[in-house]
Amino acid sequence: DGGITQSPKYLFRKEGQNVTLSCEQNLNHDAMYWYRQDPGQGLRLIYYSQIVNDFQKGDIAEGYSVSREKKESFPLTVTSAQKNPTAFYLCASRRDSGRQETQYFGPGTRLLVL
């Protein structure tokens, strides 16, 4: 069954701790994305990757880092430098880099600060 999986569903972060959110897709998509969702603000782009071993900053990359070592995986690390990490994080992928291509979304990870 093809799709995008995100884990964990809920994640708790302590002060000063780095945490990593997992995103895996078996759609054979080239491009992958991370968005942050806050109430009343829609989705904002954190990082995106068009091919393996390459990624670019989005609009709100500060305090986050990513890697793209495999085509199917695009993990997001929320570092201690991100002072307000509480949000709903959504991963997405698309077949290729064309503007007309649809982005497909995973079920999301909710990050909470203890």
Partner 1 sequence: AQSVTQPDIHITVSEGASLELRCNYSYGATPYLFWYVQSPGQGLQLLLKYFSGDTLVQGIKGFEAEFKRSQSSFNLRKPSVHWSDAAEYFCAVGAVYNKLIFGAGTRLAVHP
* Identity of residue 93: S
Q: Which helix (H) or strand (E) holds 33?
A: strand 31-37
The contact pattern for partner 1, residues 61-90, with x = CB under 8 A and - = no contact, is ---------------------------x-x
Q: According to the binding rule CB under 8 A, does residue 58 interact with partner 1?
A: yes
Structure tokens given for 58: 């989005």
Q: Is 43 in the site for partner 1 (CB under 8 A)?
A: yes
Looking up tokens 């929320």 gives 78
CA distance 86 to 90: 13
Per rule CB under 8 A, is residue 22 in the interface with partner 1? Answer: no
Helix (H, G, I), strand (E, B) or coil at 22: strand
100 lies in the site for partner 1, by CB under 8 A: yes
- Residue 10 Cβ vs partner 1, minimum distance, rounded to whole Å: 10
Beta-carbon contacts of 84 under 8 Å, excluding residues fewer than 6 positions away, are: none
The interface region with partner 1, picked from 12-20, 63-71, 75-83, 98-106 by CB under 8 A, is 98-106
Q: Which stretch binds partner 1 (CB under 8 A): 13-21, 62-70, 71-79, 95-103?
A: 95-103
